Amino acid sequence: DLVRSSWASLGGKGGGKPDIAQGGGGNPEMVPAVFAKLRGLVADLAAR
Could you tell me the residue ranges of all domains in the chain?
1-12+26-47
Instruction: Tell me the C-alpha distance between 13 and 48, whole Å.
Output: 25
The pTM (predicted TM-score) of the whole model is 0.56
DSSP-assigned letter for residue 48: -
Q: What is the pLDDT of residue 43?
A: 93
pLDDT digits (tens, 9 = 90+) for 5-48: 777 777 776 677 777 777 766 778 888 888 888 888 889 989 98
Q: What is the pLDDT of residue 29?
A: 86
DSSP-assigned letter for residue 29: G
